[in-house]
Amino acid sequence: MKIRYGWVMVAIGALMGCVAVGAMMSLAVFLQPITQATGWSRAGVSSAATLSFLFMGAGGFGWGALNDRYGTRPVVLAGAVLLGLGLVLASRAATPLQFILAYGVLVGLSGGSFFVPMMTAVSAWLPNNRSIAVSLVSAGVGVAPMTVSPLVALLLQNNDWRTAQLTIGIAAWALLVPLALLVRPAPAAAQRSGGVDVAAGARMSVKQALTSMPFIVLAATFFACCATHAGPIFHTISYALVCGIPTVAAVTIYSLEGLSGLGGRIVFGLAGDKYGAKRVLITGLFIQALAAGSFIFAHRLGEFYAVASVFGFAYGGVMPLYAVLARDYFGQQIMGTVLGAAAMVSSLGMAIGPWIGGWLFDTFGTYAPMYIYSFAIGIAAAAIAFAFPPPAVEQSALQPA
């Protein structure tokens, strides 16, 4: 089995991420048609999205542990079946509770089954290029809004919401199940060629790993990073509307962030392989913090575009580097469990960011305090990342904190 199949695994992971996240995020397109057809409240339908993110974060830890124990193929296959099932059941829901359980629980739970396992797998396949490999897998997330969402909108032009969502569920099965069957374990030669002590993870128990200083730093940095960009991602369109920018133009600001994030993933991935993930991560976190704070000075559309392009480039670029660091410190054997646990902590940062931003706006009547808060916690994220010890040293003798 040739190492070059690792790049096929990267393509599989990117496509899986695109389909999974696109299906989850398509609820925003379905929101109005569902409420108009059923009479259900927007708050009730929207709560399914909140629940799906919580289950995706919590499920990431479980899927990562299963990946370490049973391998990537059965995990992503189970996630593919679960994703399609959740969408199909949601399309048949007769009550808001049924819809919330199908979409919020099943779809959300399945969402965590692709990223951690596939990033773990490509890290094993391409140890010498793992930064760019996991970055390209992550790039599938950025493509989702430009592919799945327009497809959903097209389906809704000619069908009711139930038929459209049923179609998306069946399409998810048709795409993801065959892709899951193409997933292969990395050959032993690939895992030995990365210059990392792969056996270190096997010598360390999960308990030791999750109480070690590198994991505490990893999880804390990941949390603060997500808390930094969650508020601006969620509230910047509203801020642009407050500044008098038309709705359609304001939405393009978010689209530009996603497009810039694609470039950020590639550039940061290549830089991580050349200069080291820690150094590139710290640089990216500083850029993210400065960009988040710079939104205060944006009042015209061109100014929003300038800041959003840098902001999206930075936060899109740093996200995959956490997977690289997880392997650097803990090896391949327990990487899925460790990365899943860190992702679960980071999801709390994503959850509180929009709420804090809303509370600050309600309290002060302006979004400026939210961007100041994002800048401050972004600087804190970069400062925390300085506490990472040298991976080579920690691989040889890593002790619980």
Whether 268 and 340 share a structural domain: yes
CA distance 387 to 401: 13
Q: What number is the average pLDDT over the span 262-281?
A: 90
98 φψ region: left (φ > 0), alpha (ψ -120 to 50), beta (else): alpha
Count of the separate structural domains present in the chain: 2
Whether 166 and 92 share a structural domain: yes
What's the pTM?
0.77
In a domain, 401, yes or no: no
Whether 235 and 130 share a structural domain: no
Whether 187 and 205 share a structural domain: no
Confidence of residue 198 (pLDDT cuts 50, 70, 90): very low
CA distance 153 to 136: 26
Q: What is the pLDDT of residue 191?
A: 55
Whether 348 and 382 share a structural domain: yes
In a domain, 269, yes or no: yes
Q: What is the pLDDT of residue 2?
A: 59
Backbone angles phi, psi at 245, to 5 degrees: -80, 135
Domain that residue 315 falls in: 199-396
Q: What number is the average pLDDT over the span 160-186?
A: 94
Whether 214 and 107 share a structural domain: no
Whether 178 and 210 share a structural domain: no
Whether 273 and 158 share a structural domain: no
Q: Which of 346 and 286 is assigned the larger pLDDT?
A: 286
Whether 223 and 185 share a structural domain: no
Q: Tell me: the pLDDT tens digits for 203-245?
A: 678 888 999 999 999 999 999 999 999 889 878 888 988 899 9
Q: Which of 189 and 43 is assigned the larger pLDDT?
A: 43
3-state secondary structure of 220: helix
Q: What is the pLDDT of residue 192?
A: 53
Domain boundary among 192, 214, 247: 192
In a domain, 210, yes or no: yes
Whether 269 and 354 share a structural domain: yes
Q: What number is the average pLDDT over the span 317-327?
A: 90
Domain boundary among 192, 217, 243: 192
Q: Which tokens is 332 given?
A: 């391949």
Whether 244 and 313 share a structural domain: yes
Domain boundary among 135, 165, 192: 192
From residue 131, give the alpha-carbon distance in Å to each of 253, 366, 373. Answer: 28, 39, 30
Q: Which of 177 and 187 is assigned the larger pLDDT?
A: 177
CATH number for the domain that contains residue 79: 1.20.1250.20
Whether 79 and 208 share a structural domain: no
3-state secondary structure of 212: strand
Q: To the nearest whole number, what is the mean pLDDT of the chain?
A: 86
In a domain, 136, yes or no: yes
Rounded percentage of the chain residues whose pLDDT exceeds 70:
92
